[in-house]
Amino acid sequence: MTAESVTVHNAHVVVANRTGFTAVEMDGVDVTGAFSSRQGFVSGNGVVTAKDLWLASVVKMTGFQAKLEISPTRAEMTQMAAEIFGGKMTGTMAVDIEPDSQPLTLAVKLEGIRSADFLQALGQTSKLDVGDVDIQFSGKGQMLAPLNVNGGGTFRTGRVDASGIPIMARMQKMAKDTGLASVDFAYMKGTFQMNDGVISFNDVATFPEDQTRIFSTGTVDTTGQVHITGEIHAKGGVAGGIENFLSDIGLHKASESLFVIPFTITGTMADPQVKMKGP
């Protein structure tokens, strides 16, 4: 079995299941490499590029490129790179050709993606603006359901603007009106797990460390339902500026310069309901 040089130019590729659901669609595809075929099985390696790549018809990448290696039982892409949601994606992906479920293993890094565009592609909106986001993720799933991958990773946001959430907007206004410390956040980071459409967030914290901070854990499902618990650590001037407000709901200073304010968030990402928890 001798490998032969293969060149494909400007092809259109669609990967769909038996019901017609399009898992992957690629346009402007070029492939170069050396491949061979024996008893219907293809082996070889090369380079694949695509002008546009769609996952499940909702997530779009442009300028996709990767190294491709195929055996009778497995296809693997390494050194993947593409532009996505105003940022970039790099990573690796492997698909087991058998069984029919085509198990998928994925490890990707997303840098500088626009969070609002990402949520919009998934049919979600949020009153919490976190700017550009960096995500590292690894997981397993199926080739024919590329957005239903279970796994986990880490994330870091850009500047956090919580003014769309009423209680945070009130705290920001109080801080501004009194000329005291800000409750803006330079960034937020944490870890997450994805399991059957539910995203669990852990160890989430805002920065910098010397200002008012938020610590939280919780879940978000595919319908946008949220359930989050956490604490706001109001420091310095912010604690003083909102002291009367916090005392009204039964919260007291943990120290001379710190209020610890427990809270819960329920409802949806588009309409979050924030409640402060008194003693």
| Mean per-residue pLDDT over the chain, rounded | 84
Report the predicted TM-score, pTM, of the whole model to 2 decimal places.
Answer: 0.84
**What pLDDT is attached to residue 180?**
47
**What pLDDT is attached to residue 174?**
57
How confident is the model over 189-207, as pLDDT tens digits? 999 999 988 999 999 998 8
Kindly state the average pLDDT of the residues 179-197. 80
How confident is the model over 205-257, as pLDDT tens digits? 988 887 778 899 999 998 889 999 998 887 655 555 555 655 655 555 555 56
pLDDT at 109 over 90: yes
Whether the Cβ atoms of residue 251 and residue 278 lie closer than 8 Å to each other: yes
